[in-house]
C-alpha cells in the first residue's frame, strides 16, 4: 500500500455498470464505462487507502493497487459490498441497473415460435440507500453519485436526503456535455453544508480532488 493521508483506512467502492440477464446469452446494460470510478479507485489507493473495488463489467480495466471484486448483477454487487464491510468509507460510483428481469430464461429464448417475448421486471436493491441506513456497521462516510440532466443541484440535494448518504457527487450528464463516456467531468459536491460546484476538469483530476477531500474529512487513522 502507498503511503499517504489515507494510510490505515479501508474504503469499499463500486464502479461500472451492472448487467442484468435476460437469458444465458442476453442481458440489459447501460452506457457507464467505469472511467470515473476507476480513476477514483486509483486516486484513493494512491493516497494510501486499502480499497475494495467492486466492479461490474466496465469497459476500462480496474486500477492497480486495489482489491478487485468482479460482479455482474446488482444483487451480486450488493452482496459483495456487504461482505466487504466494515469500512471507514464507502463510495458508490457504479451505475447500478434499477431493474432486473424476473422472467429470466434458463435457456436461450428462440424466435419464430409464436409471439415476441415480454420481459418482466423487479426493482433491484438500492445499495447506496441500504448501506447509508445501516445502524451498526455504517461506514463513517458514505458517498453517492448522481447523474442528472436538469436542475442538477435540486435533484441531487433531494437524492442525498432520500438515500441518507453524507455526500452526493452530482454530474450533469446531458448529452450536450459529453460527460457520459467522455474524459472530463463537471461535478457538484452536495453535503450537509450545501453545494460546492467544481470547474470542469479531467476525470482523473476530479478523482484526485475527491480523494483528497475524503482524506481531509476522515482525518488520519488512529495508530497509523
Interface with ligand C5P by CB under 6 A: which residues?
A: 14, 74, 92, 94, 96, 124-128, 144-146
Cβ distance to ligand C5P smaller for residue 49 or 77: 77
Known binding residue 163? Answer is yes
Cβ distance to ligand C5P smaller for residue 5 or 56: 56
Say how far apart CA 205 and CA 211 lie, in whole Å.
10
Cβ distance to ligand C5P smaller for residue 101 or 128: 128
Cβ distance to ligand C5P smaller for residue 27 or 92: 92
Write down the catalytic residue from 30, 124, 171, 185: 30
Contact 190, 160 (CB under 8 A): yes
CB of residue 98 vs ligand C5P: minimum separation in angstroms?
6
CB of residue 122 vs ligand C5P: minimum separation in angstroms?
12
Could you give the count of Cα atoms lying within 13 Å of 96 in the half-sphere of its Cβ? 25
| Residue 69 Cα distances to 16, 110, 163, 181, angstroms | 12, 33, 24, 22
CB of residue 66 vs ligand C5P: minimum separation in angstroms?
17
CB of residue 40 vs ligand C5P: minimum separation in angstroms?
12
Say how far apart CA 185 and CA 80 lie, in whole Å.
28
Known binding residue 40? Answer is no
Say how far apart CA 200 and CA 78 lie, in whole Å.
31
Contact 129, 163 (CB under 8 A): yes
CB of residue 224 vs ligand C5P: minimum separation in angstroms?
28
Query: Which value, in Å, is the radius of gyration of the alpha carbons in the chain?
Result: 18
Contact 86, 65 (CB under 8 A): no
Known binding residue 98? Answer is yes
Known binding residue 159? Answer is yes
Cβ distance to ligand C5P smaller for residue 49 or 96: 96
Residue 117: helix, strand or coil by DSSP? coil
Q: Looking up cell 472511467, which residue turns up?
A: 35
Known binding residue 92? Answer is no
Please report how the helices 203-218 and 35-46 are oriented relative to each other, as an axis angle in degrees rounded to 10: 50
Q: Is 30 a catalytic residue?
A: yes
Say how far apart CA 186 and CA 181 lie, in whole Å.
13
Known binding residue 62? Answer is no
> Per the annotation, where are the binding residues?
98, 108, 125-128, 145, 159, 163
The catalytic residue positions are 30
Annotated binding site for CTP: 98, 108, 125-128, 145, 159, 163
Amino acid at each position: 500500500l502507498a503511503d499517504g493521508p489515507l494510510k490505515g483506512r479501508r474504503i469499499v467502492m463500486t464502479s461500472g455498470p451492472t448487467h442484468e440477464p435476460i437469458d444465458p446469452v442476453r442481458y440489459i446494460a447501460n452506457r457507464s464505462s467505469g472511467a470515473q470510478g476507476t480513476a477514483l479507485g486509483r486516486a484513493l489507493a494512491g493516497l494510501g487507502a486499502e480499497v475494495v473495488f467492486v466492479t461490474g463489467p466496465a469497459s476500462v480495466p480496474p486500477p492497480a493497487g486495489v482489491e478487485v471484486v468482479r460482479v455482474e448483477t446488482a444483487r451480486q454487487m450488493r452482496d459483495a459490498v456487504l461482505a466487504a464491510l466494515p469500512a471507514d468509507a464507502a463510495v458508490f460510483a457504479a451505475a447500478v441497473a434499477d431493474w432486473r428481469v424476473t422472467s429470466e430464461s434458463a435457456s436461450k429464448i428462440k424466435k419464430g415460435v409464436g409471439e415476441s417475448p415480454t420481459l418482466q421486471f423487479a426493482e433491484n436493491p438500492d445499495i447506496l440507500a441500504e448501506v447509508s441506513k445501516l445502524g451498526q456497521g455504517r461506514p463513517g462516510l458514505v458517498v453517492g453519485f448522481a447523474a442528472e440532466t436538469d436542475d442538477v443541484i435540486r435533484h441531487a440535494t433531494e437524492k442525498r436526503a432520500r438515500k441518507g448518504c453524507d455526500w452526493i457527487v452530482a454530474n450533469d450528464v446531458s448529452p450536450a456535455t459529453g460527460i457520459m463516456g467522455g474524459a472530463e467531468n463537471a461535478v457538484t459536491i452536495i453535503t450537509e453544508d450545501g453545494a460546492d460546484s467544481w470547474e470542469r476538469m479531467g476525470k482523473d483530476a476530479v478523482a484526485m480532488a475527491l480523494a483528497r477531500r475524503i482524506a481531509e474529512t476522515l482525518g488520519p487513522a488512529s495508530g497509523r
